Amino acid sequence: MKKISFILIAALLSGCSQQEPAAPKPPVSAHDHILAAEDAPEGYEYSNINELMSTEDQALTEDLVSSDSEKTTTPEQCAPLATSAMDFIAKIYKNPDTFSAADFSAGDVNATVSLSTNPETLPFPADLAECASFSNDVSGIVSDYSTTPLDMQIEGAENLQAAKVTIESAGNPLVGEPGESEFVAHALVDGAVVSVSSHDEQALRQLMEKQVNKVANR
């Protein structure tokens, strides 16, 4: 067996000792690290929901947030699985510094991405089986839903959950038609909560991966 020279070993050790430790990542910013226009899937238009809200009348926003509080979900832990524009408006209104959202639309297809730097509670229940079926009651008008888990894996995403949520009955036509589905996902990335909802599964997967990577690689 050929002996390795001490000079070579010394050179290798010297090279290892000179490697600089990786610089720490900056803190996650809900506003700086949310997806932007350049991240839109092909054919989709982009809107920053926080910026849109900043131009709205404050009193009107307060009224909208107040009316949204009348919604009751059974079981209550399933509420984040059936999202609406009002849910995002309420979260931005209540958490302007730690919550941001972006909307991507292509015709009738819509996708919403959100980023929260408050990880105290994840949007979904720990076990999606708890929400195999659930209902929303808005001022006595009830809509029923069913949930099917989706398989999704993204490097850098912890506690990743994804599901297909289908309308079984719609008491309010604004909810949608029975049989229509929305795809939702969320995960923890470096302590921040990434969430995506979309009517298109491909858009969900694409935007979820982009948002996870944007936070993880900041």
Q: What is the pLDDT of residues 29-63, one digit of tens each?
A: 999 999 999 999 999 999 999 998 887 666 656 66
Span 165-194, mean pLDDT? 93
Which amino acid is residue 8, in one-letter code?
L
Q: Residue 125: its pLDDT value, please? A: 86
Is residue 117 within 8 Å of 127, Cβ to Cβ?
no
pTM score of the predicted model: 0.83
Quote the pLDDT of residue 1: 46
HSE at residue 33, side-chain half, CA atoms within 13 A, is 25
Q: What is the pLDDT of residue 8?
A: 54
- The residues, ordered by sequence, that sit 6+ positions from 119 with a Cβ below 8 Å of its Cβ are 188, 191, 192, 193
Q: Work out the average pLDDT over 138-159.
A: 95
pLDDT band, residue 189 (cuts 50/70/90): very high
Share of the chain above pLDDT 70, in %: 83
- Round to whole Å and give the CA distance between 208 and 46: 15
Mean pLDDT of 51-80: 76
pLDDT class for 138, splitting at 50, 70, 90?
Answer: confident
Higher pLDDT, 119 or 178: 178
| Among the listed residues 115, 123, 121, the one whose alpha carbon sits nearest the alpha carbon of residue 30 | 115
Which element (helix H / strand E) includes 207? helix 201-216
Q: Which domains does the chain have, with CATH numbers?
A: 36-216 (3.40.1000)
- When mean pLDDT is compared across 27-41, 120-134, 193-207, the lowest value belongs to 120-134
3-state DSSP call for residue 34? coil
Q: What is the DSSP string of 103-168?
A: EEEETTEEEEEEEES-TTS-SS-S-GGGGSEEEEEETTEEEEEEEEE-----TT-EEEEEEEEEEE
Average pLDDT, rounded, for the chain:
87
